[in-house]
């Protein structure tokens, strides 16, 4: 399972610099190879953030916008998963209550 992004600071400035360099937005290029490479999933959101904010956006603005875009996409994914399976199983209320109160049914923590 992939690690979730919990903060705008997860979009590190070195990741943003790498994406800006790839897009040709930095005036100077790094002469040596980067020690820390941006993961593909981060690059996608950073590109989208730069496209929506423009090339003159600050690194902080790009971090915040990339995080917002990530959260929106996660929200859509979660709601589509619920919608996909919602209502496919039908059970009578009495049966559900009986199963919930049955001492022989094992519930694990």
Q: Residue 47: its pLDDT value, please? A: 96
pTM here is: 0.69
Nearest-CA neighbor of 58 among 10, 23, 25, 29? 25
| pLDDT tens for each residue of 46-77 | 999 999 999 899 999 999 999 999 999 988 88
Residue 104 pLDDT > 60, yes or no? yes
Q: How far is CA 59 from CA 6, 26, 68, in A?
A: 18, 12, 14
Q: Residue 76: its pLDDT value, please? A: 84
d(CA 18, CA 30): 9
């Amino acid at each position: 399972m992939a690690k979730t992004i919990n903060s705008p600071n997860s979009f590190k400035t070195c990741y943003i610099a790498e994406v800006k360099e790839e897009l040709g937005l930095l005036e100077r290029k790094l002469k040596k190879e980067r020690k820390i490479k941006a993961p593909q999933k981060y690059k996608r959101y950073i590109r989208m953030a730069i496209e929506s904010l423009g090339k003159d956006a600050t690194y902080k603005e790009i971090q915040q916008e990339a995080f917002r875009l990530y959260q929106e996409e996660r929200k859509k994914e979660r709601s589509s998963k619920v919608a996909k399976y919602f209502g496919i199983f039908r059970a009578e209320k009495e049966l559900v209550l009986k199963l919930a109160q049955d001492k022989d049914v094992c519930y694990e923590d």
